[in-house]
Amino acid sequence: MTPRMITAGAAVAALLVTTAPVTTATAAPIYEQQVFALTNTERTAAGCPALASSAQLDAAARRHTVEMARTGNFSHTGVDGSTPAQRVTDAGYRYRIVAENIAAGQTSAEEVVRAWMNSASHRANIVNCELRDLGVGYAVDRNNKPYWTQDFGAPG
């Protein structure tokens, strides 16, 4: 075997070893970032300022999304009776205004943002220029059904 063949073989082996399969855990941050960007595209097109990312709102959105996927409870009310405002507060976000969008079944960030924009109440949250911060959550249930949450806030 020549050195060139060894090098090429080693490169292929390295590629095979380092290319991990896309899983829910690795896809979630990508989908969440895409929803964040698409939401800001819609906001700026409507004349609103872009939203800032909030670690606290991300935590609240993810927790609620994972709960919906785990329990099948597709609701703004958590299985423990919590409201979006309570979940956001529990995550440490101090707010003046809070809003939440949820969705289930959409298989891409583009699809879920389009669905929200085609719903008057969800669109109203996205283009509410008073809201300043956003957190996004994505999770799938055991049947691979996607769940999505957007938690919006204006600091108080």
Q: Is the pLDDT of residue 127 over 60?
A: yes
DSSP 94-142: -EEEEEEEEEES--SHHHHHHHHHTSHHHHHHHT-TT--EEEEEEEE-T
Is the CATH number 3.40.33.10 carried by domain 26-155?
A: yes
pLDDT in tens, 23-53: 456 678 999 999 999 999 999 999 999 999 9
pLDDT in tens, 65-120: 999 999 999 999 999 999 999 999 999 999 999 999 999 999 999 999 999 999 99
Residue 24: what pLDDT?
56
Residue 3: what pLDDT?
37
Between 144 and 12, where is the model more confident?
144
**Looking up tokens 């957007």, which residue turns up?**
150
* Domain layout of the chain by residue ranges: 26-155
Q: Is the pLDDT of residue 10 over 70?
A: no
* DSSP element (H, E) containing 155: strand 146-155
Compute the distance between CA of residue 141 and CA of residue 131 in angstroms, rounded to an integer.
30
Residue 14: what pLDDT?
33
Residue 151: what pLDDT?
98
